[in-house]
Amino acid sequence: MRNALWKAVHLVTIVLAVLLLTPATAVARCTGGLVNTLGSTGDDGCGGIYPAVGSAVAVAAALAVAAGHAVLSYARGGTSGEELGRADTTGRKVGTGAKTGIDPTPESIAHGTVRMEEHSGFVAETARVEAMGFTIVAVESDPSVAIRRIVGLAGETIRTDLEFRLRPGMRYLDLEHELGHINQLFDTNRFPAGPPPSEIVTPTRNSPKGYKRAFNQSGVLTINQNAVLEYHNRLQELLWLSERGVPPDVMREHLAGAEDWFDRYRKATSGRQGNRTVGWQRRHFGDLQELEQQVRSIRTHLWPWAR
């Protein structure tokens, strides 16, 4: 909210400066014989009260835009710079990229690189997720976890829809990555009040989906919080992949992914807005630094090729 108001003040300041300069320019044109502004024959270019009226209209419009920007930013629960796809028609989802699995062999099953449907743990894990209330949805895009909170006009929660979106034929280890997100979000030690939603919507008859984005998005994961969530999950992932002894190319892939999310995490926890993210991380993912140390210690000893 503070950033949104600052942007509004900044915009109004610029327009007020224009307000002061416009009458001065009009006077100069009247007295200095510049080309007239109205373009009609015999017009002296002063334009009567038009410069002042134009400035007043510009100020009023700018104030309206600035106020609207501030209100909308507050309603979204944060500034627009903290949003991650919150304005997307698909809503916010926690997820990552995935690759197609390979044929089942003792090694591919042990490493998790086999197609998820052909892994012995697939039926049990999907049954566990369904028992938690998730609906499993087949998608052609990347897999993800969606927590959709449906609210009434007064903001009261009507229900929460849970979707576990999986791409058929992807690797079992990519399924495990998404399971890691479910474990994070539904851990009552991390989120005693329940998992944060990925989107908040209200019912409507005017949409094929039957709902639309709610005005108040307070509580939805921000882009900075998502960076913490994803980086934490990838650190955990590196540890269990290392324990399995996955092939070097798989480990390089996940190391690169963790490093990419470390950069996003570092940006998310920097600057004035970063202080808020650091506080959120300490409350919900206080073990993150410990995971970093574990990954750092085994990386040098077990993955010399990854230096």
pLDDT 10s digits, 228-274? 999 999 999 999 999 999 999 999 999 999 999 999 999 999 988 79
Same domain, 94 and 192: yes
Arithmetic mean of pLDDT, 286-291? 96
Residue whose C-alpha is closest to residue 170's, from 101, 104, 108, 119: 101
Q: Looking at 46, 75, 104, which one is the last position of a domain?
A: 75
Residue 8 binned pLDDT confidence (cut-offs 50, 70, 90): very low
Residue 34 confidence (pLDDT): 29
Residue 265 confidence (pLDDT): 97
Cα–Cα distance, 300 to 303 (Å, whole number): 6
Whether the predicted pLDDT of 203 surpasses 70? yes
Q: Looking at 75, 100, 120, which one is the last position of a domain?
A: 75
Residue 298 binned pLDDT confidence (cut-offs 50, 70, 90): confident
Cα–Cα distance, 234 to 298 (Å, whole number): 15
Tell me which amino acid residue 262 is: F
- Residue 19, classified by CB atoms within 10 Å of its CB into exposed (0-12), middle (13-18) or buried (19+), is middle
User: What proportion of the chain, given as a percentage, has pLDDT over 90?
Assistant: 60
Q: Looking at 193, 221, 249, which one is the last position of a domain?
A: 221
Helix, strand or coil, per DSSP, at residue 159:
strand
Ranking 71-75, 144-148, 155-159, 257-261 by mean pLDDT, the lowest is: 71-75
Same domain, 246 and 179: no
> What value does the mean pLDDT of the chain take?
77
Same domain, 194 and 245: no
Higher pLDDT, residue 300 or 282: 282
Could you give the residue ranges of the DSSP H alpha helices within the chain?
A: 2-32, 50-75, 106-111, 122-131, 172-185, 223-244, 248-268, 271-284, 288-302
Cα–Cα distance, 43 to 47 (Å, whole number): 8
Cα–Cα distance, 193 to 185 (Å, whole number): 11
Can you say how many angstroms the Cα of residue 195 is from the centroid of all Cα atoms in its chain? 16
Same domain, 186 and 303: no
Higher pLDDT, residue 266 or 55: 266
In sequence order, the β-bridge partners of residue 166 are: 138
172-185 and 223-244 are packed helices; what angle lies between their axes, rounded to 10 degrees? 130
Number of domains in the chain: 3
Residue 79 confidence (pLDDT): 35
Arithmetic mean of pLDDT, 270-298? 93
Residue whose C-alpha is closest to residue 170's, from 100, 250, 95, 105: 100
Domain that holds residue 190: 83-221
CB–CB of 26/44 below 8 Å?
no
Residue 302 confidence (pLDDT): 60
CB–CB of 9/65 below 8 Å?
no
Residue 5 binned pLDDT confidence (cut-offs 50, 70, 90): very low
The terminus-to-terminus CA distance of the chain in angstroms comes to 43
Residue whose C-alpha is closest to residue 79's, from 88, 71, 89: 71
**What does the pLDDT look like over 77-99, one tens digit per residue?**
433 333 332 233 333 445 457 99
